[in-house]
């Protein structure tokens, strides 16, 4: 079969499933995939896949897509905007802002965050462009990004002519690089009468954590014409963490339905779409219009207040199906399920009927809307294993490594290097399988101090590689052949070269797979060098 060229805008699953079926129908024995080597191929994980993904993951996904016949619980990707227009604009913005990757001062992965925010900005710009066309206006929409984080989304939207600003509890280093035209404010948002935005067209919640369910409420109360866009990630209720109540759904689907219910209960027609971003949490919810006329605003706000109060009495968990939801919750939820499967206008009557069934209405609460809401701490808590005792971390690393080594998998790395010794690269285990081998006290300590088992294993990147939820022993021959990926770059830099003992030299039964001269870590105490930090400390007066 002829090699398959990778088109930058291809709908992956449909095309690859078609290729697979063609192969089966014509009894072709092999499929090869080639990428175009040209200046436009800048792997971003969004439109242009990374070559490593093509080589290591695509074929297994292709086999699974060919045989699965499962209806997705989410909308099709980019179902609410023009795909052609989106693809063209994404390329333009990617070229325009790609240099941000080179100057990214944060500790986060620049490629993921830059290209993801470019993709989200593209979606919003197309959505707003189509909205202006529908309304026959030319004035560009204003916005406020609540919990804006690194501020790149605000920077892009502002540069593209939309007046707006971002607010976040904590200032980021990169804010100073954007210039005065990008308005970013350091401050906390506590949902109340004082945190309204009456002159703003759109409120944005891009991975806004504890503010996510509040954004439809703030938008609804800011003005009748205020709209919202939320991209939920972490699961928060109005106060505290969101607790699961339905085992028949995935936690993600259940939380999306909850946020959708909030939007409907606030009087919005809510639409759902799936973005094209390098993230597992890529479903967005959009409130563009209302289910009631402007004359019913006072009545509707009474119902919002009642809904918020009903959530205050919501149990942290619901054993045995006890505590049935109130009428507005049930009506909104039922409408929400319909809404999440298709663009809604039909569900609004159900919401209004359910709300009208409630007798009486309390006046909107002055000041704070509900007690107990806590914005995140200004100082971000470090959860990267640094607070754990070194011997405890070493014990967990050794325990996991031995589990993998017991599943012996001998290899010699590059087939051309036949003179290399046979080396046990171990097998692989899922994170769940690894967790099952550790005692509950160890797992709780990891979760409390460093974010959990997966965080510890990823931070121990000298020893482990975590891919698609599976843990492997890291083969440093492959790391060097790959051209030093970002996590290996940090370990191979001149500043840290030979400043730590090689774990494999000290603990692996076959020793280190690399010769001492090529290994970035010390093979014995005689090779150890002082780190730059220690040198400066010793030189200081």
Please report, for the domain that includes residue 276, its CATH number.
Answer: 3.40.50.150
400 and 502 in a single domain? The answer is: no
Classify residue 399: in a domain, yes or no.
yes
Indicate the residue among 287, 309, 331 that finishes a domain: 309
Handedness of CA 190, 191, 192, 197 (dihedral sign): positive
The phi, psi pair for 8, rounded to 5°, reads -65, -20
- Residue 182 CB coordination number (10 Å): 20
Which pLDDT does position 317 carry in this prediction? 35
Report the distance separating Cα 269 and Cα 348, nearest Å: 7
232 and 96 in a single domain? The answer is: yes
Which pLDDT does position 541 carry in this prediction? 53
Local structure of residue 239 (DSSP, 8 states): S
Which pLDDT does position 367 carry in this prediction? 75
Classify residue 328: in a domain, yes or no.
no
Which pLDDT does position 370 carry in this prediction? 87
Which pLDDT does position 307 carry in this prediction? 95
Q: Which of 204, 206, 201 is nearest to 216 (CA)?
A: 204
Which pLDDT does position 331 carry in this prediction? 41
Handedness of CA 202, 207, 211, 212 (dihedral sign): positive
393 and 456 in a single domain? The answer is: yes
- The residue with tokens 């973005």 is 275
253 and 303 in a single domain? The answer is: yes
pTM, two decimals, is 0.60
127 and 255 in a single domain? The answer is: yes
Q: How many domains does the chain divide into? A: 4
Classify residue 72: in a domain, yes or no.
no
pLDDT single digits (tens) 195-228: 999 999 999 999 898 999 999 999 999 999 999 9
153 and 281 in a single domain? The answer is: yes
Classify residue 316: in a domain, yes or no.
no
Classify residue 332: in a domain, yes or no.
no
Q: Which of 74, 65, 45 is nearest to 283 (CA)?
A: 74
293 and 400 in a single domain? The answer is: no
113 and 234 in a single domain? The answer is: yes
DSSP strands (E only) in 82-201: 143-146, 164-168, 183-186
Classify residue 24: in a domain, yes or no.
yes
Mean pLDDT, each 10-residue run in order, the chain (541 residues): 42 53 53 59 59 69 66 79 94 92 80 90 97 96 96 97 95 92 94 94 94 97 98 92 84 94 97 91 96 97 94 49 37 40 36 37 59 74 67 92 84 48 86 91 81 84 88 85 51 68 92 90 88 54 53
16 and 108 in a single domain? The answer is: no
The phi, psi pair for 246, rounded to 5°, reads -135, 115
Indicate the residue among 263, 291, 309 that finishes a domain: 309
88 and 111 in a single domain? The answer is: yes
Helix (H) or strand (E) holding 431, with range, is helix 431-436
435 and 535 in a single domain? The answer is: no
Which pLDDT does position 461 carry in this prediction? 86
Local structure of residue 240 (DSSP, 8 states): S
Two tokens, residue 522: 């010390």
pLDDT single digits (tens) 441-496: 898 888 777 668 888 898 888 899 988 889 999 988 887 766 544 444 444 456 67
Helix (H) or strand (E) holding 464, with range, is strand 464-467
Residue-number span of the structural domain to which 54 is assigned: 9-67
Please list, in sequence order, all residues whose beta carbon lies within 8 angstroms of the beta carbon of residue 363, skipping any fewer than 6 positions away.
302, 305
Indicate the residue among 245, 276, 309 that finishes a domain: 309
Classify residue 379: in a domain, yes or no.
no
Report the distance separating Cα 166 and Cα 154, nearest Å: 6
144 and 208 in a single domain? The answer is: yes
Classify residue 514: in a domain, yes or no.
yes
């Amino acid at each position: 079969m002829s090699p398959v060229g990778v088109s930058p805008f291809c709908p992956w699953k449909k095309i690859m499933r078609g290729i697979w079926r063609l192969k089966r129908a014509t009894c072709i024995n092999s499929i090869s995939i080639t990428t175009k080597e040209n200046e436009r191929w800048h792997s971003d994980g969004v439109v242009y896949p990374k070559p490593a993904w093509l080589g290591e993951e695509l074929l297994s996904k292709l086999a699974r897509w060919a045989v699965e016949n499962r209806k997705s619980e989410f909308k099709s990707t980019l179902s609410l905007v023009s795909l052609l227009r989106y693809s063209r604009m994404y390329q333009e913005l990617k070229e325009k802002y790609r240099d941000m990757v080179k100057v990214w001062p944060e500790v986060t992965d620049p490629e993921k965050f830059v290209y993801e925010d470019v993709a989200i900005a593209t979606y919003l710009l197309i959505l707003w462009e189509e909205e202006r066309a529908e309304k026959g206006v030319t004035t560009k929409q204003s916005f406020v990004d609540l919990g804006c984080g690194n501020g790149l989304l605000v920077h892009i939207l502002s540069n593209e002519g939309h007046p707006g600003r971002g607010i976040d509890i904590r200032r980021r280093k990169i804010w100073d690089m954007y210039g005065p035209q990008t308005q970013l404010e350091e401050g906390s948002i506590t949902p109340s009468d004082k945190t309204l935005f009456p002159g703003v067209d759109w409120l944005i919640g891009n991975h806004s954590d504890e503010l996510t369910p509040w954004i439809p409420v703030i938008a609804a109360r800011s003005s009748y014409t205020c709209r919202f866009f939320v991209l939920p990630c972490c699961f928060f209720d109005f106060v505290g963490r969101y607790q699961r109540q339905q085992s028949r759904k995935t936690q993600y689907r259940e939380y999306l339905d909850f946020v959708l219910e909030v939007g409907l209960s606030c009087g919005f027609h809510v639409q759902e779409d799936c973005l094209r971003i390098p993230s597992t949490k890529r479903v967005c919810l959009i409130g563009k219009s209302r289910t009631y006329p402007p004359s019913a605003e006072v009545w509707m706000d009474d119902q919002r207040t009642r809904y918020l109060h009903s959530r205050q009495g919501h149990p942290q968990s619901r054993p045995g199906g006890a505590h049935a939801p109130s009428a507005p919750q049930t009506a909104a939820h039922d409408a929400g399920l319909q809404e999440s499967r298709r663009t809604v206008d039909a569900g609004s009557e159900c919401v209004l009927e359910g709300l009208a069934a409630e007798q009486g209405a309390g006046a909107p609460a002055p000041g704070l809307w509900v007690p107990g809401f806590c914005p995140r701490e200004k100082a971000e808590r470090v959860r990267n294993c640094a607070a754990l005792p070194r011997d405890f971390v070493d014990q967990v690393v050794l325990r996991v490594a031995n589990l993998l080594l017991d599943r012996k998998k001998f290899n010699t790395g590059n087939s051309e290097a036949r003179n290399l010794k046979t080396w046990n690269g171990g097998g692989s285990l899922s994170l769940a399988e690894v967790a099952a081998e550790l005692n509950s006290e160890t797992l709780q300590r990891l979760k409390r101090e460093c974010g959990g088992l997966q965080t510890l294993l990823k931070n121990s990147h000298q020893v482990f590689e975590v891919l698609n939820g599976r843990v492997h022993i890291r083969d440093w021959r492959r790391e060097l052949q790959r051209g030093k990926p970002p996590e290996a770059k940090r370990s191979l830099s001149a500043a840290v070269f030979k400043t730590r003992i090689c774990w494999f030299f000290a603990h692996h039964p076959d020793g280190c797979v690399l010769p001492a001269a090529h290994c970035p870590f010390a093979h014995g105490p005689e090779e150890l060098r002082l780190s730059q930090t220690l040198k400066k400390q010793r030189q200081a007066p």
